[in-house]
Amino acid sequence: MKQKDEKWALFWCDLLRPVLFDEVEPESIQDFLKEISQKEMVFPGGRTGKPSLSTLRRKLKRYRTGGFDALARKDRHDRGHARAAPAEIIATAIELKCEQPKRSPATINRFLKDLYGVTLSRSTLYRHLKGAGATRLKLGVVKNKVRKRWTRDHTHDLWVGDFEEGPYVVFGREVLPTYLSAFIDCHSRYIVEARYYLRQSLDILIDSLLRALAKHGAPGELYLDNAKVYHAIGLKAACYRLHIRLRHRPAGDPSPGGLIERFFETAQDRFESEVRAQDAISLDDLNRALSAWISVDYHSSIHSETGETPKDRYHTGLSVIRHVEMDQVLAS
């Protein structure tokens, strides 16, 4: 078996493993396959999509009748050529796309229908456009993601946390940089915890999170950066124990973290700018000043997106407090 074919066979076996090893009751196999068919996944070739229910059934049947080797992909005898449409129709489709790169498959098919009385399936059309270098990406059309502001219906539905560099402080005889660790409530924009530290590490993250949990209880979800520290086993275990859904920013796509970044910018403009304009202070004094600024200024100012103060929105949106047994967290 070729290496490429082996990768595909392993892929299908991993996907169907619970059925293959009788971990799914016979009467539940259909429901299991339907569930798998609704999941987005990355295929061995790099494409992201959902396996169709008919494909899953076919692969399962092949394995049961022919074993592992039966799952190898079979090459088409007409590979590289259109099966359902003449070359002339394919050439016309490519010409239409090159003429106007933003033309959708539906629009191209309307032209083909008028000219030849036939249409092409979306997958067939894309395959030939890609082979001819006539996709939007190849033709220089870039579509940026549409960003929507994150929000939740209630206080503590979701917290977003991160680190940011802070001002320098006097520590003994040294002047050292600080790092601001903060967690913000998505619904209210209320800062459930913010504190400067002399380093950023897992211990610091846990200390900051413990302070937030002790004061406010547990959130429904926790949204963090994709850095290694946020994937620590101890953090994941604590979230499972407290029934908190831990989420991370998509790799290479930091935009969803804009909520906490916005707070950091506000703190830099309205608080840290004044701190930096003075002589360096101690870490304790810096944190006392931060706590006072958040309480008196930030939490009591109208937020431009919500139209309410974080303090008022926090209390009106509060429907339940999930008290935390700190022993559970510390056990992680």
Kindly state the helix (H) or strand (E) to which residue 183 belongs, with its residue range: strand 174-185
Is the predicted pLDDT of residue 106 greater than 90, yes or no? no
Query: What is the overall mean pLDDT for the chain?
Result: 84
pLDDT band at 78 (very low <50, low <70, confident <90, very high): very low
* Radius of gyration of the CA atoms of the chain, in A: 28
Tell me how far CA of residue 142 lies from CA of 145, 159, 318, in angstroms: 10, 32, 42
Distance CA 49, CA 32 (A): 18
Q: Is 320 exposed, middle or buried (0-12, 13-18, 19+ CB in 10 A)?
A: exposed
Tokens of 134: 């006539």
Share of the chain above pLDDT 90, in %: 34
CB 152 within 8 A of CB 158: yes
DSSP conformation class of 248 = E
Distance CA 187, CA 93 (A): 48
**Residues in CB range of 116: below 8 A, 6 or more apart:** 88, 89, 92
pLDDT in tens, 48-72: 889 889 889 988 998 888 877 777 6
Share of the chain above pLDDT 70, in %: 88
Is the predicted pLDDT of residue 294 greater than 90, yes or no? yes
Q: Give the start-end residues of each E strand in 23-130.
A: 41-42, 48-49
> What is the residue type of 166?
G
Instruction: Specify whether the backbone of 189 is left (phi greater than 0), alpha (psi in -120 to 50) or beta.
Output: left
- Cβ neighbours of 65 (radius 10 Å): 8
Distance CA 206, CA 278 (A): 31
| pTM listed for this prediction | 0.56
Is the predicted pLDDT of residue 284 greater than 70, yes or no? yes
Distance CA 302, CA 308 (A): 5
Kindly state the helix (H) or strand (E) to which residue 312 belongs, with its residue range: helix 310-316
- Cα 218–Cα 147–Cα 270 angle in degrees, nearest 5: 65
pLDDT in tens, 119-162: 888 888 888 888 888 887 777 765 544 444 567 889 999 999 99
Picking from 76-85, 93-102, 173-182, 265-274, which range would have the lowest pLDDT averaged per residue? 76-85
105-116 and 122-131 helices, crossing angle to 10°: 100
Predicted local distance difference test score (pLDDT) of residue 280: 84
Predicted local distance difference test score (pLDDT) of residue 146: 41
Predicted local distance difference test score (pLDDT) of residue 328: 54
Predicted local distance difference test score (pLDDT) of residue 148: 47
CB 263 within 8 A of CB 163: no
pLDDT in tens, 298-312: 999 999 888 999 999
Q: For the chain, how many residues are written?
A: 332
Is the predicted pLDDT of residue 102 greater than 80, yes or no? no
For every residue of 257-283, DSSP letters joined together read GHHHHHHHHHHIIIIIHHHHTS--EEH
DSSP conformation class of 69 = G
Is the predicted pLDDT of residue 246 greater than 60, yes or no? yes
Q: Which domains does the chain have, with CATH numbers?
A: 3-71 (no CATH), 76-143 (no CATH), 158-330 (3.30.420.10)
Tokens of 36: 């798998």
